[in-house]
Amino acid sequence: MIAKTPRPPYYAVIFTSLRTDVEKGSYLETAERMLELAQEQQGFLGMESAREECVGITVSYWESLDAIKIWKGHAEHLVAQEKGKSLWYTAFKTRISRVERDYEF
């Protein structure tokens, strides 16, 4: 699904990850819970995600850098981040970008 974002400017958090084969700790349930929590956060605009085999890319959209910072520090999100590092990912990279322009078809 393509996120319905407002007119720019807004921010995109691009999370690219390489998965392990570990399902311990319920990766899918945690990912679903993180989406539920993010949707409750002030400033959250939407999300898009794709995974092919072990590589995944998730892009979340936010109104401001402050909203992103608050989400990064959310207590339950911090627990999920630690599980990601210890169980689910062999590597990941997070990029934060300001969206200046968008268009659609």
Q: Which residues pair with 14 in a beta bridge?
A: 59, 95
Using the predicted structure, report yes or no on whether residue 46 has a pLDDT greater than 80: yes
Sheet strand arrangement including 44-52: 44-52, 55-62, 10-19, 89-99
Residues 6 or more apart in contact with residue 45 via CB below 8 angstroms: 3, 5, 6, 10, 60, 61, 62, 63
Reported as a pLDDT band with limits 50, 70 and 90, residue 102 is very high
Segments making up each domain of the chain, as ranges: 23-98
Reported as a pLDDT band with limits 50, 70 and 90, residue 21 is confident
Reported as a pLDDT band with limits 50, 70 and 90, residue 25 is low
> How much is the pTM?
0.92
| CATH architecture assigned to 23-98 | 2-Layer Sandwich (3.30)
Cβ-based burial of 37 (10 A; exposed 0-12, middle 13-18, buried ≥19): middle
Q: What does the pLDDT read at residue 19?
A: 93
Q: Which residues pair with 61 in a beta bridge?
A: 12, 46
